[in-house]
Structure 1
Amino acid sequence: MRNLMFGLFLTLSGAVVSAQTLSSSTGQVQVQAMVSGLDTPWAVDFLPGGEFLVTEREGRLLLVRGGQAQTVKGTPKVHAKGQGGLLDVMVPRDFAQSREVFLSFAKRQKGGAGTALAVGRLSQDGQRLTDVRILFEAVAPGSGGRHFGSRIVEARDGSLFLTLGERGNRPSAQELSNHNGTIVRINRDGTVPDDNPFVGQSGIRPEIWSYGHRNPQGAALDRQGRLWAVEHGAKGGDEVNRIKKGANYGWPVISYGTHYSGAKIGEGTAKPGMEQPAHYWDPSIAPSGLMIYSGKLFSAWRGDLFIGSLKFDYISRLDGKNLREVEQLKGGETERVRDVVEAPDGSIWFISVGKGTIYRISPAS
């Protein structure tokens, strides 16, 4: 670990790595490495003043300030196995007043591990999280190391959405007595909003907002404040969905993919009472982070969805009006794209797991 940190500081010292260019539908864009030498990075989010936070799946939270990275102490203990570990980081809109930072992670539980959501306050020097507490943890842990979901989205009303995979237990995504394969919504203090769809219904977890998901690893709000999510299918059938209150997204009853064996999934591609995807890929691209772009620096991309592909090493751009893939941003930097986010200045940042690097896309000078 000490050698890794030494290498990381070497990479970050001095000026940012020189920029490369990438062809796009708007012409050449600039791609600049912002931090390198990362160990399985999973998420990035921004602090006021140009600083940013990065999670590494093995459990480390980094603060990058002035071209230097430092480890933030006080993070919760994570279950780093398979796809589990320290996953998303979300900086809320009121950070300047609250200093709060939200983290999702795989937490060891009796019988296995489940997705959890924690919050802590970042010290003024950025060296430690204090007052860390767990706001939510999934009921019905899984014993394997897959399908933790784990994106955090702050809704316009200040409540929090968290995506959860079905932990490889397919039928559980249709069982509302547990949280597997759901998107949950909670208040900032961990309580359940009164207007959640299943509040007061016997035998149903009140945190659930939607269900029937396989493994949603990307989520974002559009300009109207509506929630969208992208999730992994099996062999084919990766989906983009507009998330509706109380809706059932069908896994594993309906899917546009097949099992890895080639066997049919469930009952086909449609069933009454189950939502159809707004878009799906076949073959699967292994989608991860999702961002809906404001148009601040690239006006032609206003309202479009940007989704990272872990499998085919590109960023998928979906037209926001017709929701179809219209472009693939691809180059040497887009190796296993895990997260895609918009920075406060309108630049597009993405995580390349393969390169261990976070890159920034901006107009070519």
Structure 2
Amino acid sequence: MGEVHRSVQELAASLGALPPEFVRPEHEQPAATTFPGGAAPDAPVIDLSEPRCGARVAAAAREWGLFQVVNHGVPSPVVAELQRVGRAFFSLPREEKDRYAMDPASGRIEGYGTRLQRDLEGKKTWNDFFFHVVAPPEKVDHGAWPRSPAGYREANEAYCCHVQRLARELLGHLSLGLGLEEGAMAEAFGGGDLVFLQKINLYPPCPQPELTLGVAPHTDMSTLTVLVPNEVQGLQVFKDGHWYDAKYVPDALIIHIGDQIEIFSNGAYKAVLHRTTVSKEKTRMSWPVFVEPPGELVVGPHPQLVSGESPAKYKARKYKEYQHCKINKLPM
């Protein structure tokens, strides 16, 4: 049934019940596994205008691997325009969106896609997306960007400039939190060659959201991820054996610690295991930017964080080799 449809967005418009290929195993179903409210702890919300915010960033990276930032310097109108053009793209007719379809077989990995492929357990997730590189300029292919809606390119470029500044600031706090020079982490990840990948996630209304997921549990391959959510609850974090909601905070950006920072820090900072739930009545959207090293760059534990008492916990390897192993679920 699902194979007839080109996207989850189309599928959602025609369903009364969830097809079996979307039903997650019981140990993954949100209704059975989400921490039941009440005294559940909240992920840290950090005001980046406060003098001691750097110490709080480092502490959150150690304890949670995820935190939210306010007073982050990204103007609200810039975020609102990013969201406007993203919503407008997914409102286009299917034929228009299909002009930008991903085609991994031909090497086209940027563009419009869907999660209608099965995972290793034969299951699917409730998610469509658009994905492209936004920086550095030499890696950007504007041919992969939508020409409609009007203003799409301008909105994404304006937002990316602010995210580049914010990423440098956060990497500086995290570096200092390890007892290193402020610029050590950014330099180890490529400095001005850091790659910024913009994604738009769309999670349409789902007839039985308690049985499925928008994104299955995973950690991000990147150094860190800067995410704009909409107001629909969905992001969940795994901590201390439980799945917790990362509650929506107006005007906040959500920061994920990724695998490369965990590797660089020799395990001092934790890549956050997270997943996404969906809603029965509302469309959830998110706009993550993945901040990655260049593919040829070798990433490993920083030498100052390795000693006889604290041996290296991770292998140093080119980032593209790490990507290949993780995507294909090969030993690392």
Q: Same fold (TM over 0.5)?
A: no
Give the number of the structure whose residues are more often strand, by fraction. 1
More helix by share: 2
